[in-house]
Amino acid sequence: MSAYDFDLFVIGAGSGGVRAARMAAAMGVRVAVAEDRHLGGTCVNVGCVPKKLFVYASHFVEEFENARGFGWSATSPDFDWPTLRDNKTREIERLNGIYRNLLVNSGCELINGRATLVDANTVAVGDKTYTAERILVAVGGWPHVPEFPGSEHVISSNEVFYLDQFPKRAVVVGGGYIAVEFAGIFAGLGADTSLIYRGELFLRGFDKEVREFTAEEVAKKGVDLRFSSNIASVEKLEDGSLRATLEDGSVLETDLIMYATGRKPKVEGIGLEALGIEQAANGAIVVNDQFQTSVPSVYAIGDVIDRVQLTPVALAEGMALVRNLYGNQNQKVDYELIPTAVFCQPNIGTVGLTEEQAAERYSNVDVYSSSFRAMKHTLSGSDEKTFMKMLVDADTDKVLGVHMVGPDAGEVLQGIGVALKAGATKAVFDSTIGIHPTAAEEFVTMREPTRKAVKA
């Protein structure tokens, strides 16, 4: 008989925690999961899922307009925010129920409440304590909004999904994918939208040419891009609107200001300091390749370790952890060649190295690129363009990175991610027959490089 109440106690029922808990329980491990908010974590409740639903909604006006060139005529449609908001909420509640059933049916004990670490093998939830041979911290991250005069009047991505009213004017602050995506959502749903970013160009870390192309396309959609700019203060006016004073002295009046200025590990009050668990400067839990913290019985995965903040990465980390602990395996998560997408308008899909990274690591890189107006828009009248790019090591012919800006870029790049993971060369792409007529076939018909990558 074990000396502990559980073999594994999971703190946090987000994507990584739920996957680890279910897999462990299926192996006969006695598992408890503690969660003080909604099941499914950020992704299901205030992240990927509701955001993608809003992205879908924001595309319809453009589609209605594009349809005219194909013979469809219709009066200008009306948008009803409460319908979208409430339908989204019902879908999230349905998913919460599915997560609950998955956990309970797998044999996990689900405990409602905020769990804190007491010692290396003890967790407290409310006035109860539980012991476990191993503890897994999977508490995720939380939006970070800087403090400044009037910061109490702004919202984060947590609140944006539950607005009482949809704004006629909106300001989004930030330069990451959440900021760019929500600028597109607000604009698509009819708000006069500005995006403010303190840097020279948004989406730092992405391929520079992709960033520049995306900025042009986002501006075409009516988003007022204000780079090298920042808000100094916000004042709430008598009519409920907001007046934002920028650092350059200019003023913006708006109905809503959303900050998407990064996320931090949600580690406050969970007892890490009491155990002496090592943390990075931003609070992230430091772990080794086996996701073990400086306290050997305590592990951590997902956004709280701040490696790659993506749901599929948290899932991979959870699966590797359980297989290693309870399946006698020695898996390591490969953080290279992770496909990702930004659901801005148009979408970005990317996998592998940026041109800047490729030029830094390799001495002879060929750049293949293509920019074109998609076939659909020859009739729609839209001036939206699609951009595709491939980076190839000319010495080995290996494809180093592939990038796309255009409709369904994420869908296209998922398959290409498999190809790069398999070590595909440019010759493999060239010998693959395209699907015609599609935009994606461009990736197998780009025969001649447009230039050499140059090291910055």
**Closest to 236 in 3D by CA, of 248, 228, 245:** 245
pLDDT digits (tens, 9 = 90+) for 222-274: 999 999 999 999 999 999 999 999 999 999 999 999 999 999 999 999 999 99
Strands 169-173 and 256-259: parallel
pLDDT at 110: 97
For the chain, domains (ranges, CATH) are 6-143+264-326 (3.50.50.60), 151-261 (3.50.50.60), 340-452 (3.30.390.30)
Q: Give catalytic residue positions.
A: 436
> Token pair for residue 183?
């600028």
pLDDT at 77: 87
Please list the ranges in the chain whose pLDDT falls under 70: 1
pLDDT digits (tens, 9 = 90+) for 403-419: 999 999 999 999 999 99
pLDDT at 1: 57
pLDDT at 76: 80
What does the DSSP assignment read for 241-288?
A: -EEEEETTS-EEEESEEEE---EEE--TTSSHHHHT--B-TTSPBP--
At residue 180, what is the residue type? V
Dist CA 358 CA 452 (whole Å)? 11
The residue behind tokens 């090291």 is 455
pLDDT at 359: 98
